[in-house]
Amino acid sequence: MKKNIFIFILIAVVLVAGSVGYNKYRQVFSPNVPHSIEEELIDIPTRAGFEEVVDLLNAKRLLIDEKGFRWVAEKMHYHNASVKAGKYRIKPGMSNRDLVGLLRSGRQEPVRVTIRAVRNLDMLAGLASRDLEFDSAALIGYILKDWLPGTSYTRENALSLFIPNTYEFYWNTTPQQFVERMQKEHDRFWAGKRSEQANALGITPVEVYTLASIVERETQDNSEKPRIAGVYLNRLEKGMLLQADPTVIFAQNDFTLKRVLKKHLEIDSPFNTYKYTGLPPGPIYMPTIQTIDATLNAEDHQYIYFCVNPEKPGTHAFASTLRGHLRNARRYQQWANRNGIR
């Protein structure tokens, strides 16, 4: 009788142990992320703790069994000290082992950030902060207070550090890391041929960028960008006023202006190239790489003037004499008046 009781107890213990072991095995290796979800990206903020991670996962309904996740996290030593910030891709059907392993490893997804078509640092910071963890104020603060004082840049031309392109960053990139990466991309961009071309033109890369920003706002016709760049280089060489309408619009800070009138030319701003000779103190827009290269490859010609060509809107009519320019300008003004452009 005692022997039978012992065997019964032994069998019960084995069954219980087996059941417990099987449950623990399931907690570790069985799917704990629902198969029904699409791939999901979660952002774990800098200095987040384990409880915040659990809250993030629950908020997106990524845990079938929170208790099982917590148990596996404890066994795999994933706790406050081992939480790594970043953007993580959670896949359907992941086990707790896979999920904890991913989060603990720091193998985050890169973020693609496209930098283009901005007028100033504030717009740049807003663009970058849409895809990265830092906010725009933090980036502007770092640029102006920490980075700028140790460089030859000014507040007006600092935008020329940033080369328009699409870059990959980690989501938790800091403002300092962002700027350091942009400095490397800038140096790589200007190394070699482009730097030699700028020297041949007699201007610096910052000045090329500034001139390209004017060319960018003058025309969308890529074929005539080298010609327009040549016009401005001719004016610079002769010590003439650039008289570039886009710089006046920038000085007015009114980007709805379609036609620059005499009253707009009176604004007292270093960006008003109708008042001040030479290039403005910095770019008025972020030019495309194509426009920068068009400026570096400016046409060598005798044109000094240009205005909109009414016979082919979107392009320009060029002239090497004032008489020729006045004739072209008169045709444009008549066309603009007929079409109600103010």
Give the percent of the chain with pLDDT over 90.
84
Chain-centre distance for alpha carbon 94: 33
- Assess whether pLDDT exceeds 50 at residue 14: no
- pLDDT tens, position by position, 245-298: 999 999 999 988 888 889 999 999 999 999 999 999 999 999 999 999 999 999
Contact 211, 202 (CB under 8 A): no
- Assess whether pLDDT exceeds 90 at residue 313: no
- Assess whether pLDDT exceeds 60 at residue 20: no
Please enumerate in sequence order all residues whose Cβ is within 8 A of that of 16, keeping only pairs 6 or more positions apart, or say none. Answer: none
- Average pLDDT of 115-120? 95
Q: How many CB atoms lie within 10 A of CB 3?
A: 7
- Assess whether pLDDT exceeds 80 at residue 341: no
Dist. CA 236–CA 295, nearest whole Å: 14
- Assess whether pLDDT exceeds 60 at residue 17: no
- pLDDT tens, position by position, 210-231: 999 999 999 999 999 999 999 9
pLDDT-based confidence at residue 342 (cuts at 50, 70, 90): low
Looking from the CA of 238 toward its CB, the CA atoms found within 13 Å total 14
